[in-house]
Structure 1
Amino acid sequence: MTSSSSATATQSSADPASQYHIDVMTAIARAVYPSAVSVEKSFIESRVFGRIEPKPGHFEGLITTIEAVDSYAQARFGGEITELPPGRRRQVLQSMGVTTVHPTADGTTAERVRFYLINDLLYVLFTSPKSSELTGIDNPPGHPGGREAYQRSPREDEQ
């Protein structure tokens, strides 16, 4: 785990994630997201770490879980998570128990990975402007629909 230790030591308080953390999270996103989604490092950097921290300590918890997944992959699967193919990365998460636990911020490692890492990845995917193309939901229930919805008469929606 030398790469994560040195990466953590070099990150500043203004920049919560090092390039190592962004690379690992990008690799995990490529395993978690549908194959139709093209994941770029810039997307992870801007949408996950570029947003306002949801709660104090959230990014610290996220970074800790990123390192935990990579350490687990190295110990149990013989390589860093970034070196494994997406299918193998999914196996890492399944083997950790991440796919069957309830997300809990202060729970077991699997529960924390689900809370911080997986939930953050899903949040940024579904709040991204591109998500409507993937999900087929242009206006989720409860969402006003944007400017175009206010420029149509109610009768146009009925047709």
Structure 2
Amino acid sequence: MKLTRRDAVAALVGAGVIGGAGAAALARDGFQADSNAANGEGEGAEAVVAALVGTARAVYPSDVENVAAFVETYAATKLDRRPEFRAGAADALSDLDAEARITFDARFAALDPVENETVLRRTGAETAEPDPKGTTAERVRYYFVNEALYALYASPTGGELVGIENPQGHPGGTDSYRRGPDR
């Protein structure tokens, strides 16, 4: 299953990050990640995007393709339009990178998917309740794990994995509302 830019745009629309004009502009012009530091400590949007890509590679099903381009489109746009989210994610990334350095002597984004999964488990994000102001585990769950999963399952292609034919924000036409649940 291959994710596309269109899937990322649909997920952004579903999340209320962009509207019709924003979606058209993004589809036409692409995105530019903000490389400025979000928290004054060198954790800019590009580092957060790279960590979200690493998270997605760890938590997405193995048959999903084009993960990096999909997550980069989704995350760079969200981080650009939601500076509070970007700052919170950058703070959580500091803790995520600290755990990655302790465990594998490298930043989280530089690890392979199996190592990323190990770091996510070691932070406790696997079982934590998401909370943007909570513990490290809760913040990593909120900003990285849940965000990556939301992007996937809010997209038309990702929604098919779990039987959501028309994720929120993705028009499906009247035909989809006339069929019974057995199709």
Q: TM-score range by the shorter chain?
A: 0.7 to 0.9
| Displacement of 1:28 | 1.6
Equivalent positions of 1:69-84 (< 5 A) are: 69-84=96-111
Equivalent positions of 1:11-90 (< 5 A) are: 11=36, 17-51=44-78, 52-53=81-82, 57-90=84-117
The CA deviation string for residues 35-85 of structure 1, in whole angstroms up to 9 with x for no partner, is: 1112443322321231342xx612211122223212210122222223322
The 4+ residue runs of structure 1 with deviation greater than 4 A are 142-145, 156-159
Larger radius of gyration: 1
* Residues 25, 66 of structure 1: 8 Å contact kept: no
In structure 2, what is the Cα distance between the partners aligned to 1:40 and 1:67? 23
The CA deviation string for residues 69-105 of structure 1, in whole angstroms up to 9 with x for no partner, is: 1221012222222332211211111111111211111
Residue matched to 1:7: none
2:70 is aligned with what amino acid? F
- Partner of 2:173, secondary structure, is helix
Residue matched to 2:175: 149
In structure 1, what is the Cα distance between the partners aligned to 2:171 and 2:69? 27
Unaligned 5+ segments in structure 1 are 1-9
* Greater RCO, 1 or 2 (C-alpha within 8 Å, sep 6+): 2
User: How has the CA–CA distance of structure 1 residues 59 and 144 changed in structure 2, closer, same or farther, with 3 Å as cutoff?
Assistant: closer
In structure 1, what is the Cα distance between the partners aligned to 2:67 and 2:49? 10
In structure 1, what is the Cα distance between the partners aligned to 2:66 and 2:126? 21
User: How has the CA–CA distance of structure 1 residues 158 and 42 changed in structure 2, closer, same or farther, with 3 Å as cutoff?
Assistant: closer
- Partner of 2:131, secondary structure, is coil
Unaligned 5+ segments in structure 2 are 1-34
How many equivalent pairs are there? 143
In structure 2, what is the Cα distance between the partners aligned to 1:80 and 1:12? 17
- Partner of 1:147, secondary structure, is coil
**Normalized against structure 2, the TM-score is what?**
0.64
User: How has the CA–CA distance of structure 1 residues 107 and 132 changed in structure 2, closer, same or farther, with 3 Å as cutoff?
Assistant: closer
Report sequence identity in percent: 31
